Amino acid sequence: MVEKIGLTHNFGARPLACFFLALSVFLSACSDGPAAEQPKGKPKERPPVPVTVAQVLSKDILVQTTAVGNVEAYSTVAVKSRVGGELVGVHFQEGQEVREGDLLFTIDKAPYEVALKEARARLERDQALARKAQDDVRRNMPLAEKDFVSRQTYEQFKSAAEAAEAQVKADRAAVENLELQLSYCTIRSPISGRTGSLLIQRGNLVKGNDENKSLITIHQIQPIYVTFAVPEKYLGDINRAMRETKLDVRVDVSRNSLHTEPLTGKVTFVNNTVDVSTGTIRLKASFPNKDRRLWPGQIVHIVLTLGVQPNAVVAPSEAIQTGQSGQYAFVVSKEGTAEMRAVLLSRNTNGEAVIEKGLAPGETVVTNGQILLTPGARVSIKEQNSGRKENTAK
């Protein structure tokens, strides 16, 4: 039995040896083949990165800041009645344009006309009594001089004449007051502007000089104001500019209007204090508003021009990138490679970046394709960006 087991073991080892021999031949063939040979020498160069570029310029550029403004009426009048009575006439339509002096309302005149007639009648009566008193004085004067009439009686005639004259003056004042009250029954527009909603309908009774109730509100919208606030850091520039001339303000209303061109106005008011809660200064600009594109209560975008910065270094805003170390730009060298350059940005205005440090006029910067660039990478210029937005001082 021992010999049988040994024979079985020798019989199973022969196929296993053949398997390992074949595996070693295969591995040797793979290692000696041409695919296992590694090329020696320089690594293969990366192709140039296609980019769009633009030139860094030096030019005089407008110093501007933006803000959000609120349109306000040039003047606003709440029309009220100065006399009481029934509202018998409304002589305009809601939302109508009116001119100064146009008839708006009529209050019932009848009570005031009756009172005026009574006052005029009293005036005529007292004028007659005053004339009689003056005649009594004239008749008794020579008699008093000859002592035919006592001095006391003569003084009584004079006092009666003076009292009658005073009563006539009072009657005239009453007549003038009633004439004034009668004129207040006709209410005319105090300004030229646009009417709002009618607050009291015809047929209602109105109270004279009611502080809590107005008949209508009129807004003057030609010209019109736009109020806005800018950071207090611009206060010095604003004061210097206002001493020489009024600052220009541009309003963009293209989002709310079919017109695309902006409106231009002038700063006419600078508040006398800085808002300590927001750190801003409030300004007001006046616009002619001839085409009525500005409307009271409207929210608009403001561009305030503070002055001109001469010989500013300017690059397209899309050339400036932001990384972990700050802002940078890729500059294309004469050899056609990209150089990563740290830059210090002053501000962005009208699609252009004003550079304080890092770029020089005449250099070429990458405006599109930066995502594929690395420092030292070769570039292939596919387009020269020449469509620069104008923001220069005229």
CATH of the domain at 341: 2.40.420.20
Residue 315 sits in the same domain as residue 298: no
Per-residue model confidence (pLDDT) at position 393: 57
Per-residue model confidence (pLDDT) at position 246: 83
Residue 323 sits in the same domain as residue 349: yes
Q: Which domain holds residue 301?
A: 66-72+225-308
Per-residue model confidence (pLDDT) at position 41: 53
Distance (Å, whole) CA 47 – CA 379: 8
Distance (Å, whole) CA 54 – CA 365: 6
- Give the residue from 151, 184, 217 where a domain finishes: 184
Per-residue model confidence (pLDDT) at position 34: 42
Per-residue model confidence (pLDDT) at position 332: 94
- pTM of the predicted protein model: 0.65
Q: Give 209-266 as a DSSP string.
A: T-TT--SEEEEEEEEEEEEEEEEGGGHHHHHHHHHHSPPEEEEE-GGGSS--SPEEEE
Looking at the domain assignment, is residue 46 inside a domain? no
Looking at the domain assignment, is residue 122 inside a domain? yes
Looking at the domain assignment, is residue 121 inside a domain? yes
Is-contact 344 322, C-beta < 8 A?
no
Is-contact 240 255, C-beta < 8 A?
no
- Number of domains making up the chain: 3
Q: Which of 225, 294, 283, 211 is nearest to 257 (CA)?
A: 294
What is the token pair recorded at 315?
């690059």
Looking at the domain assignment, is residue 274 inside a domain? yes
At position 360, the amino acid (one-letter code) is A
Per-residue model confidence (pLDDT) at position 106: 96
Per-residue model confidence (pLDDT) at position 212: 79
Residue 316 sits in the same domain as residue 373: yes
Distance (Å, whole) CA 82 – CA 208: 5
- Give the residue from 308, 328, 346 where a domain finishes: 308
Per-residue model confidence (pLDDT) at position 257: 56
Q: pLDDT by residue for the chain (394 residues), tens digit each?
A: 333 333 334 434 444 444 444 445 444 444 444 444 445 555 567 889 999 999 999 999 888 888 999 999 999 999 999 999 999 999 999 999 999 999 999 999 999 999 999 999 999 999 999 999 999 888 888 888 888 888 888 889 899 999 999 999 999 999 999 999 999 999 999 999 999 999 999 999 999 888 878 999 999 999 999 999 999 988 988 988 888 888 899 998 766 555 567 899 999 999 999 999 999 999 999 999 998 899 999 999 999 988 888 999 999 999 999 988 899 999 999 899 999 999 999 888 778 899 999 999 999 999 999 898 999 999 998 877 664 555 555 5
